[in-house]
Amino acid sequence: MSALATFTDRLKSQLQISLGLAKRQIFGANNEKLDFLMDSFYKLSPNQRTGVLAGGIVGVFLVVVMIFGLYFSLVNGLKSDLSQSFAALHELQSKKAMYEQENRNFEKLADTLERKTKQVSLKPFFEKIANEQSVTLEGLSDSQSPLPADNPLSDRIKEVRVEMRMPNISIPRLLSFLVEVEKSNKYLRVQDLQIRARYGTKLYFDAQSKVRGYDSNK
CA distance linking residue 173 with residue 191, whole number of Å: 17
CA distance linking residue 20 with residue 168, whole number of Å: 98
> Out of 3.40.605.10, 3.30.70.60, 3.90.1170.50, 3.60.9.10, which CATH number does the structure's domain 122-216 have?
3.30.70.60
Q: Where are the domains of the chain?
A: 2-113, 122-216
113: DSSP letter: H
pLDDT in tens, the chain (218 residues): 455 556 566 656 666 666 666 666 665 556 565 566 666 656 667 766 676 667 767 766 776 777 777 777 777 777 777 778 778 888 888 888 888 888 888 778 777 777 766 666 788 889 999 999 999 999 998 888 888 888 877 787 888 888 999 999 999 999 999 999 888 877 788 888 999 998 888 889 999 999 988 877 76
Strands 189-197 and 138-146: unpaired
